[in-house]
Chain A
Amino acid sequence: MPRNATRTRRRAHPRRRTHRRWERKRLHAQRTRQRRIGRRRCRAAVRQRRWANAPWWYRHPLEWLALESGFPEEYANFRRREIGKALVYAGEVDVGDAGTRRLAVIFPGRPSRVPPIVMADGSKKSRHRYRWSRPTSLCIWYPSDPRRQRWTIEEGLHGLIDRARVHLLKEAWWRVHERWPSPEVHHEPRGTERRITTSERRRLQRLDRQRCWCGRKRYATCHGAIAADVELRQLGLA
Chain B
Amino acid sequence: MNATSFYLKLLDDIAVPMSEIKKARTKRDELAAVAVAALDAWAVTATGFFRSGALAAGTQIKPLNDVDLVVYASTIRTAWKDAPQQALVDLCAALRAKGFECTLSTHAIKVTFPDVSFTADVVFGCTHPEQGLWIPHCPDAEPHEWIRTDPQEHARQIRKRNNDIGVEFARQIRILKVLNQKWSLADPDGRKPISSHHLSALALATIHTSVTYATTTPAFLDRAAELVLRPLPDPSGVGPDLEARDPERAAALMQAAASETRRALVAGEDAGRILEGVFGDPATTLAAIYGAPLSVAAGGGLTIGTGTRGIGSGRSYGDAA
Q: In the complex, what's the smallest C-beta–C-beta distance from B189 to chain A, in angstroms? A: 6
Q: Is A129 close to B, CB under 8 A? A: yes
Known: A97-B182, A97-B280, A172-B186. A125 touches B321 (CB 8 A): yes
Residues of B within 8 A of A148 (CB): 312
* Closest A residue by C-beta to B182: A97
Known: A97-B282, A189-B321. A122 touches B188 (CB 8 A): yes
Residues of A within 8 A of B117 (CB): 181
Q: Provide the A155-186 mask, 1 if CB < 8 A to any CB of B, else 0.
A: 10011001101110110111111011111111
Q: Are B291 and A181 in contact (CB under 8 A)?
A: yes
Q: Are B309 and A185 in contact (CB under 8 A)?
A: no
Q: Is B308 close to A, CB under 8 A? A: yes
Q: Are B289 and A170 in contact (CB under 8 A)?
A: yes
Q: How far is the CA of A188 from the CA of B186 in the complex (A)?
A: 26
The number of A-B residue pairs with CB atoms under 8 Å apart is 168
**Interface residue from A126, A128, A182, A189 paired with B290 (Cβ < 8 Å):** A182
Q: Is B133 close to A, CB under 8 A? A: no
Q: Is A195 close to B, CB under 8 A? A: no
Which 7 A-B pairs have CB atoms at the shortest separation, nearest pair first? A175-B190, A74-B300, A139-B318, A182-B291, A141-B314, A97-B280, A99-B186
Q: How far is the CA of A177 from the CA of B299 in the complex (A)?
A: 29
Q: Is A150 close to B, CB under 8 A? A: yes
Q: How far is the CA of A75 from the CA of B300 in the complex (A)?
A: 8
Residues of A within 8 A of B313 (CB): 149, 163, 166, 182-183
**Interface residue from B187, B191, B318 paired with A130 (Cβ < 8 Å):** B318
Known: A97-B185, A175-B189. A139 touches B63 (CB 8 A): no
Q: How far is the CA of A183 from the CA of B186 in the complex (A)?
A: 23
- Interface of chain B: mostly helix, strand, loop or mixed: loop
Q: Which residues of B contact A (CB under 8 A)?
A: 63, 65, 117, 181-182, 184-192, 280-282, 284-285, 288-291, 294, 296, 299-302, 308-309, 311-321
Q: Are B185 and A172 in contact (CB under 8 A)?
A: yes
Known: A74-B296, A166-B294, A170-B289. A180 touches B316 (CB 8 A): yes
Considering only residues 87-101 of chain A, those with a C-beta below 8 Å from chain B are 94, 96-99
- Interface of chain A: mostly helix, strand, loop or mixed: mixed
Q: How far is the CA of A75 from the CA of B296 in the complex (A)?
A: 12
**Interface residue from B294, B296, B315 paired with A141 (Cβ < 8 Å):** B315
Q: How far is the CA of A123 from the CA of B281 in the complex (A)?
A: 22
**Interface residue from A98, A141, A143 paired with B185 (Cβ < 8 Å):** A98
Q: Is A85 close to B, CB under 8 A? A: no
Q: How far is the CA of A131 from the CA of B187 in the complex (A)?
A: 22
Q: How far is the CA of A186 from the CA of B315 in the complex (A)?
A: 9
Q: In the complex, what's the smallest C-beta–C-beta distance from A142 to chain B, in angstroms? A: 4
Q: Are B190 and A176 in contact (CB under 8 A)?
A: yes
Known: A129-B321, A139-B316, A155-B312. A177 touches B65 (CB 8 A): yes
Q: Is A213 close to B, CB under 8 A? A: no
Q: Are B65 and A183 in contact (CB under 8 A)?
A: no
Q: Are B184 and A176 in contact (CB under 8 A)?
A: yes
Q: Are A181 and B302 in contact (CB under 8 A)?
A: no
**Interface residue from A131, A141, A181, A184 paired with B319 (Cβ < 8 Å):** A131
